Amino acid sequence: MPELTSFAWVLIIAALVVGILAGHYGWGRHWTRRGRRFPAEYLEGLDYLVNEQPDRALDRFLRVMDTSADSLETHFALGSLYRRRGETERAIRVHRNLLSRDLDPPNREQALLALAQDYLRAGLLDRAEGIFRQVSEGERFKGRALEALRGIYERQRDWMQALETHRALARLGIAPAGSVAAHYLCEIATYQLERGDVEEARRSLRAARRESTPFPRAAVLRAQIAERAGQMELAARLLAWALDANPVLVYDELAHLLRLVGESARPAVLRDLLAQAQQRDRGDVKAIVYAALALSPADAAPLREPIELAIARDPVLAAFREAAPQAPFEQITAQMRALLARSETYRCADCGFAARRFYWQCPGCQAWDGFETYVVLRLR
């Protein structure tokens, strides 16, 4: 007999469960009591499993199953098993088979939800969206369907639909944090700015601040609007506030802030940011030092002392410094700048996704506001 895969063994167990249910509940009155014999199709299905022909086995099992309450639970369990294993085509067959039967409204609604989840797992977003919309019109699975739709609209970057779905969830009292709706509005504002519709963008940003306050992302976009209008002082104030409210932004936005304030004000701005970071967390100080290292040597000069301190406290940087103890400070910082240029600087706190640029929404797990500064210097 050929060696079975783990999935075949799982299906055999699932099939045996069907058999146990059938024997226990007297499934199918045409079965004879003598020996509790199973239908031929059921035994054929087991034979196909043993010979690693799961599609044919599934055909046989679906023919055996009726629509009794016990059979329905087995259908749903088998379909869920297939979906978790990534066998979405088989999961879809199970749930479409269910929907072809005469189901009562609650079970039909559950089967529709399961089928939509199959399509979603398979990446067939249009099909999944249509069925989730249908399910969301009912009451039993309304919240789950709306939450799935919100995720689909995020993946499609359809921010208006995502916002409307978020508000529908809010009416049910199960919406995510208000900052998620604020991010949707900032995405809309970004598109409006790209289109040149500044007034609409301003309205979207005001709505974002009503959803979540304080909200640094809105301040960054308002700074962009002010800069386009030639209001450099206002743009600098907004961006400085955003960096203070969300220090993770410093690595991407510090150079922008220094351009806004002008050459004469740069040392004072750097010292102010460092003082604010020292009141918060040692990690914030390190982030500012790394951001300063990524600047030009002239811009980094006002932070020479904290840079030297960060080098002494970091094992990798300290080893790097000790390798050339007589090298001038400018040479060491130039070499570190080259290291930073090829290092990952951010990591998602939820899934561990690492990147060199900052994302408001993690590309890995789709979580919002999960990125944190995570500089890993590689010496090779």
d(CA 147, CA 166): 8
Name the CA radius of gyration of the chain, rounded: 30
User: pTM of the predicted model, to two decimals?
Assistant: 0.78
Alpha carbon distance 158, 118 (integer Å) = 22
What distance in Å separates the CA atoms of residue 214 and residue 209, rounded to the nearest whole number? 7
CB burial string 168-187: b at 16+ within 10 A, e below? bbeeeeebeebbbbbbbbbb
Query: What pLDDT is stored for residue 117 in this prediction?
Result: 96
Q: What is the pLDDT of residue 170?
A: 95
Nearest to 137 by CA among 109, 95, 158, 179: 109
What CATH number belongs to 6-172? 1.25.40.10
- Residue 195 CB-half CA count within 13 A: 10
Report how far residue 45's alpha carbon sits from residue 209's, in angstroms, rounded to the nearest whole number. 60
pLDDT of residue 206: 96
Q: Quick one: pLDDT at residue 271?
A: 81
pLDDT of residue 63: 59
Would you say 332 and 316 are in contact if contact means Cβ atoms under 8 Å apart?
Answer: no
**Is residue 346 within a helix (H) or strand (E), and if so which, with residue range?**
strand 346-348
CA atoms within 13 A on the CB side of 167: 9
One digit per residue, the tens of pLDDT, for the chain of length 380 reads 455 455 554 555 455 445 544 544 454 544 444 444 555 555 555 555 555 556 666 565 665 555 455 567 777 877 887 788 888 998 898 899 889 888 899 999 999 999 999 999 999 999 999 999 999 999 999 999 999 999 999 999 999 999 999 999 999 999 888 899 999 999 999 999 999 999 999 999 999 999 998 899 999 999 999 999 999 999 999 999 999 888 888 888 988 998 899 888 888 888 888 788 778 766 677 777 778 777 777 767 777 777 777 677 767 677 777 777 777 777 777 777 777 777 777 899 999 998 888 899 999 999 999 988 776 555 55
User: CATH 1.25.40.10 region(s) of the chain?
Assistant: 6-172
Position 280 scores a pLDDT of 75
Predicted confidence at residue 21, as pLDDT, reads 47
Residues linked to residue 372 through DSSP beta bridges, in sequence order:
347
Q: What is the pLDDT of residue 25?
A: 47
Contacting residues for 315 by C-beta, under 8 A, at least 6 apart: none
